[in-house]
Amino acid sequence: MTSSPAATPPASGDGASESPGWLPRLRDARIRAKLALILVVPVAAVVALSTARLVESGQRAADADRVRSLTALAADVSSVAHEVHRERMAAAFLLDSAAQAPTAYNAQVRLTDERIKAYNTSRDALDDIPAAANDRLRRIDEHLSTLNGTRQQVISNAQVSVSEVVLRYGVIVTDLVGYGEVLGQLAVDPQLADSLRAASAFANAKAAIAEEEAVAFAALASGGRLGDEAFASFIGTLTVQQEALLSFSLTASPTQRALVSSTVTGDAVSLADDVSSQISASVGQPVQVTAGDAAQAIGAVNDLMRWAEIRLEERLIADAARVRADVLRTVLLEAALLLLTLIIAIVLAVVLARSLVRSLTQLREGALSVANHDLPDAVARLRDVRNLAESSVDEVARSVRDPIQVSGRDEVGQVALAFNVVHREAVRIAAEQAALRTSVSAMFLNLARRSQALVDRMIGELDHIERTEEDPKRLAQLFQLDHLATRMRRNDENLLELAGADSTAPRREDALLVDALRAAQSEVELYNRIEFGTVDADISIAANAVNDVVRLLAELLDNATRFSPPTTVVVAEARRIRDYVHVQIEDRGLGINDDQLVALNRRLSEPPAVDVAAFRLMGLAVVGRLAARYNIRVELRHNAEGGTVAHVSLPSTIVVMPQTRESVGARHRPALPAEPSPAAGARPEPAVPALTARAGAATLTEPWAG
């Protein structure tokens, strides 16, 4: 039940009930209001984008400041790494000489703790540390917390070897040096990022030098001979050192390379290289260099590299501060430019909007006239070919009056001119369509009539020859020619149907549905593959529809036989259902997909105008037109056993039912039992002489069944 509008009170405060109120008011608003609204939206968008840009710039500034702080922290980290290495060497000297007092080692421990304290102070001052850097710092803190245990073992000399102590300290140094690698990934400025990567590579080279010093001392202190394991460790430090220096030379700036070259040079470097060469060449043999001399020579290079590292860090901190200042300056400049641009845009928009309102108001009247009156009236008038009279298409187009008077040369004037051009072209197209439809129909009609006369004469000659021919083989060949001629005439009749002309002589008597099916079978080239199932033999087709029904069924039977395997049969059945007759044509072909089935059924239910597809699917177009003429429903469906089933529903307006019925069951009696297919070489003759006239159509060029 539908309630009365008065019975339902309006809901207050409901957004769904309020929206229909303001939407029409918005649509009916004046141009000035709409332009103002249009202006507000871009301005708001510009403000939002500007804010987002400023926020992004502010984030860049914050990132630059964070990188500066982390770079400053890197100086403390490298200082801790250097002091931890020196503590490692002090511990190695203490363990190598049991009689030596731990004074030097304790002094170095105090110096290391001071550096660690400065590092912790700098780290605690940092906020919002990136995850990668925070993870590295957490690992550094964990390893630094193990220093006290190692120190206790070194002082107490609790059965701990020099190599083991060197290894423990080396793990801590490795984590400390790895902080620089993480820092190079966080820089927002490309040049600063390259400088940080170069500094990290140099720190790795310095760590390799320190590791070389520690490994050499540990190996030589254990007996003066370099074993295989110690030799491998020593060579590994040299390899890491070379790779790090190569990476530094590839990523460092010229200033950084010059700084390192001027610092790490001289006799100390040459002496360290000589010591390294002697150690490398003395594997398994006594080394001519003592552990202390080797540590002193290599340690001197380590100190030089530490001095270069400090200078690199100072320059990096200055570069990070410069990048931060540049980013802040860019943010301020962008904010000023965005504000100035916004002010200029608003002023120009207001000035231009006032001019545009006046032009749009003039254009509105003419556009409404074209859209609502001039163009629809002209197109509707020219759809009728008779309105063309003797005028050509160009004359009709030139006679059209421009509905909008162009008053300017700006975009609004160009739009007005475009409206006039569209109006003329629409009139031209309507005239061309009308002339084209007339020409195509006349062409189809002329060609089909001529071809039909020739085919009729050929069929008559073939019938005469067939009656006098006694040779069975030649008679079979004549029957094949006869069927080909029949298909040619069906093509002509299809063309006449598409041209809108009647192609068959009118009938005066009804015909049984059984005879219509047999007559349709006789029009099919592969008639010997058609079998009939249950057919109600007491149902007739109205005289005015017999020829068209036969042609429609012939098209369906011909299509089913041509697009199904030659070893299968096509079964046709016809039964009465209430007040209409249902005809079913079933084949065992490959079938068609769902999309094609939907498209074909759409063309059958709604026959389109004559176009290229109508000739590509001529049989489909003819079936659709014949079905639409008598309100016949034709539908294609998938066959559960493979193939396609064509369902044809003949309405009561063209079906003649018997006057009496014996019983309800008698309606479905098998008046026409399943018949065997005619033998090859024999042509089936229709049961009623009046239906011997062929009424076929051309075969579809695209299968809709099978």
Q: What is the pLDDT of residues 104-116, one digit of tens each?
A: 888 989 999 999 9
pLDDT at 117 over 50: yes
Residue-level pLDDT at 691: 46
Which pLDDT tens digit goes with each residue over 160-210?
788 888 888 888 888 888 888 787 777 777 888 888 888 888 888 888 888
| Lowest mean pLDDT across 77-86, 490-499, 570-579, 644-653 | 490-499
Which pLDDT tens digit goes with each residue over 210-254?
888 888 888 787 666 667 777 788 888 888 888 988 988 898 889
Q: Phi and psi at residue 574, in whole multiples of 5°?
A: -145, 125
Residue-level pLDDT at 571: 93
Distance between CA atoms of residues 344 and 336, nearest Å: 12
pLDDT at 352 over 70: yes
- CA neighbor of 672 nearest in space, from 528, 543, 516: 516
* Three-state secondary-structure class, residue 257: helix
Residue-level pLDDT at 398: 67
Binning pLDDT at 50, 70 and 90, where does residue 517 land?
very high
pLDDT at 663 over 60: no
Q: Which amino acid is at 696?
A: G
Strand arrangement, sheet containing 633-638: 530-535, 570-577, 580-586, 644-650, 633-638
Instruction: Kindly tell me the burial class for residue 473, based on how many C-beta atoms sit within 10 Å of its own C-beta (0-12, 13-18, 19 or more).
Output: exposed
CA Rg value for the chain: 50
Which pLDDT tens digit goes with each residue over 274-301?
888 888 777 667 677 787 888 888 888 8
pLDDT at 518 over 50: yes
Give the tokens for residue 155.
Answer: 């002082």
pLDDT at 643 over 80: yes
How many other β-carbons are positioned within 10 Å of the β-carbon of residue 125?
A: 10
Q: What percent of the chain has pLDDT over 90?
A: 6
pLDDT at 666 over 50: no
pLDDT at 384 over 80: no
Q: What percent of the chain has pLDDT over 70?
A: 77
For residue 514, the Cα-to-chain-centroid distance in whole angstroms is 56
Residue-level pLDDT at 276: 84
Binning pLDDT at 50, 70 and 90, where does residue 1 land?
very low
Distance between CA atoms of residues 268 and 274, nearest Å: 10
With residue 169 as reference, give the H or E element that holds it.
helix 162-183
Distance between CA atoms of residues 166 and 144, nearest Å: 15
Reported residue count of the chain is: 706
Instruction: Kindly tell me the burial class for residue 601, based on how many C-beta atoms sit within 10 Å of its own C-beta (0-12, 13-18, 19 or more).
Output: middle
Residue 234 makes CB contacts below 8 A (sequence gap 6+) with: 212, 215, 216, 219, 226, 279, 280
For residue 350, the Cα-to-chain-centroid distance in whole angstroms is 41
Q: Phi and psi at residue 530, in whole multiples of 5°?
A: -100, 130
Residue-level pLDDT at 651: 93
- The packing angle between helices 31-96 and 147-156, to 10°, is 10
- CA neighbor of 398 nearest in space, from 431, 353, 365, 374: 431
pLDDT at 681 over 60: no
CB 218 within 8 A of CB 166: yes
